[in-house]
């Protein structure tokens, strides 16, 4: 299993960060420009990654103010899990960690690990930017 992760510190309480992340409608704001055909509800999202794949995702587990796990709801190019974990740092700030776990063979790992790392970094930084301006 390939693990790709990015961590950011956000100057907001954990419940605000969690509430934003727990609604998949908000995730469109976190996506880079190469994502299109976005449609979503609170618990599901469908979109296309330019020159790569179409994905349909669904919240598979949620632990209030701690963790949100999202998995494909339709067949994906490889086994995949997306996880947001939020923890309070004790000073009213939240540390948000975004992790993608993907079952990649060596060839796929060489091809997609770079773009997946860019995606994870982009989404984590976009979350920080969006919530810092609210």
Tell me, what's the pLDDT at 75?
87
* pLDDT over 80 (residue 100): yes
Tell me, what CATH number does 42's domain have?
3.30.530.20
pTM of whole model > 0.85? Answer: yes
Nearest to 78 by CA among 45, 51, 111: 111
Which position has the token pair 């063979």? 105
> How far apart (Å, rounded) are the C-alpha atoms in residues 98 and 25?
17
> Side-chain half-sphere of 66: how many Cα atoms within 13 Å?
4
Residues 32-80 pLDDT 10s: 998 999 999 999 999 988 777 789 999 999 999 999 999 999 988 889 9
In this prediction, residues 117-132 reach a mean pLDDT of: 95
Query: How many structural domains is the chain composed of?
Result: 1
Tell me, what's the pLDDT at 29?
96
Tokens found for residue 106:
């060596």
Q: Is 115 left (phi over 0), alpha (psi -120 to 50) or beta?
A: alpha
In this prediction, residues 19-27 reach a mean pLDDT of: 97
> How far apart (Å, rounded) are the C-alpha atoms in residues 31 and 26?
10
Q: Express as a percent the part of the chain with pLDDT over 70.
A: 100
Residue 119 structural domain: 2-132
């Amino acid at each position: 299993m390939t693990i790709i992760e990015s961590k950011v510190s956000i100057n907001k309480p954990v419940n605000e960060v969690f509430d934003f992340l727990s609604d998949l409608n908000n995730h469109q704001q976190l996506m880079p420009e190469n994502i299109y055909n976005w449609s979503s509800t609170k618990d599901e999202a469908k979109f296309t990654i330019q020159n790569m794949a179409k994905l349909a995702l669904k919240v598979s587990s949620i632990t209030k103010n701690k963790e949100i796990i999202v998995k494909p709801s339709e067949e994906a190019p490889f086994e995949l899990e997306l996880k947001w974990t939020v923890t309070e740092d004790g000073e009213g700030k939240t540390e948000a960690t975004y992790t993608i776990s993907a079952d990649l063979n060596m060839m796929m790992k060489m091809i997609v690990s770079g773009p997946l790392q860019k995606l994870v970094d982009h989404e984590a930084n976009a979350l920080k930017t969006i919530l810092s301006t609210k």
